[in-house]
Structure 1
Amino acid sequence: MSLNAQTRWHTFQSQEEINQAALNRILAAADAAIAKHGSFLIVLAGGSTPKAVYQLLAKADADWSKWHVYHNDDRCLPVDHVERNSKMARDAWLSHVAIPESQIHDIPAELGNVAGALAYSEILKGVRTFDLVILGLGEDGHTASLFPGQAVDNSADAVPVFNSPKPPADRITISQKRLNDTHEVMFLVTGAGKQEAVDNWRKGVAIPATLIQSPNGVDVYCFGVVLS
């Protein structure tokens, strides 16, 4: 796959700088969506960099009543497990602001990957195009729970993942097709461990992250990697 001309790369000089830029981008996207649609539909990523941004959002001033929150993936673990993306987002941010509970849509991964994916597809049914999808990048080039060497399943808006190369083996992910149905995409990529994946991406190697191609392109926010 050739390098998408609509992949825009942004580099930052510190963790604080990338966190602040991501915060500003999210709040600007929210303002624009609320002005246009009366609501803001955001899809969250797991991971340490998003967590730091969510902690900033917890202190931000926003029209929380208009926010609708989804997750790009989650692990099939108990609801209160420390490695659940939904628990991280609630602890860092969502439990501290006035987003109505009915507008926070956790993936019911505790049901197992098949039943949970079916349930989340029902939740996503009829939901308009997302406003902003936040994604991370794994050292192997994966994003959400779209992993190298695994078939791309676009049979539903949310799909089960089996045999994940990272534990736990069972996961649920929003499908590539549905993640691409968004106005904006922001990848948060930090740490030297991501260098090889970034190099491959920029060379046009078909890593899973390159599956995400929204109509308005993709913005990749980077800290700790060199863009050659």
Structure 2
Amino acid sequence: MRDFEHATLMDQAEALAISIGHALDLAIRANGWAVLAVSGGRSPVPMFERLRYRPVRWEAVTVTLVDERVVPPDHPDSNSGLVRAHLLREAAASAAFVPLIADAAEVADPERAVARLNQAYRQPDVIVLGMGEDGHTASLFPDAPELQAALSDPTPGYLLTHPSSAPHVRVTLNLAALLAAERSFLAVAGAQKAKVLDRARQGPTPALPVSIVLANQRRGFDIFRA
């Protein structure tokens, strides 16, 4: 596990874009294709707007999400909408995209989305994570009733979570999937999140789900701070 410090958010975004592009290149050379799972929210936008210009063989890349809110694809809170608006453009427009919530039917019955995703599951080669001030990553929230299932299921895949501290039901990768990626990146910005990350690195606890990801990581994992 490597830890990189960046002076500004823009420096962090540029460094992340370069590193993610390189990781995708390595996966494509090894397999002929690559699966990239990214996180949503506003924080990744500067990175998306740099990554989409990277000289990757985007036609060999499938982009998907680490997690998603159960909302229509055109909803302002949709991570899919964010990815389409900020990443799947310019060079990256030729990438394939697998949304976690595909249509209104899956909004009404999100278990259909989970079943679709797990039936056709492809393990992401590269995963980009964020972290909340409560220590959640992906949609593994400390107060979600499904947290233990997400942490203990040995089969990589997706599940629904119902965190009371966050709006919307979520679809998320489980811990097994997060740990199975060849390369993972965690982006953290701000003094408050830096303190949470430092606590998380002291040892695993369900009170800080990101700590369990960090404690069990055995593959390439880089932390980008700003």
Same fold (TM over 0.5): yes
Task: Check conservation: 2:188, 2:194, Cα contact below 8 A.
Answer: no
User: Residues of 1 paired with 2:163 and 2:21: CA distance?
Assistant: 36
User: Residues of 2 paired with 1:86 and 1:152: CA distance?
Assistant: 26
One-letter code aligned to 1:116: A
Q: What's the TM-score, normalizing by structure 2?
A: 0.86
Structure 1 alignment gaps of length 5 or more:
1-6, 224-228
Closer/same/farther in 2, CA of residues 62 and 218 from structure 1, 3 Å limit: closer
Report the equivalent of 1:226: none
Structure 1 stretches of at least 4 aligned residues deviating more than 4 Å after TM superposition: none
1:45 maps to which of 15, 39, 42: 39
Aligned length: 211
Report the equivalent of 2:116: 119
Farther-moved stretch of structure 1 (173-182 vs 205-214): 205-214
One-letter code aligned to 2:47: V
Task: Check conservation: 1:183, 1:215, Cα contact below 8 A.
Answer: no
Report the equivalent of 2:225: 222
Task: Check conservation: 1:164, 1:171, Cα contact below 8 A.
Answer: no
One-letter code aligned to 1:186: F
User: Residues of 2 paired with 1:215 and 1:99: CA distance?
Assistant: 32
User: Residues of 1 paired with 2:60 and 2:164: CA distance?
Assistant: 35
Q: Is it true that 1:148 corresponds to 2:149 in the alignment?
A: no
Residue 205 of structure 1 and its aligned partner are, at CA, apart by: 4.9
User: Residues of 2 paired with 1:51 and 1:158: CA distance?
Assistant: 24
Report the equivalent of 2:165: 165
Aligned positions of 1:71-150 closer than 5 A: 71-96=65-90, 97-100=92-95, 103-108=96-101, 110=104, 111-112=106-107, 113-124=110-121, 127=122, 129-150=123-144
Task: Check conservation: 1:185, 1:214, Cα contact below 8 A.
Answer: no
State the identity %: 26
Aligned positions of 1:184-199 closer than 5 A: 184-199=183-198
One-letter code aligned to 2:120: I
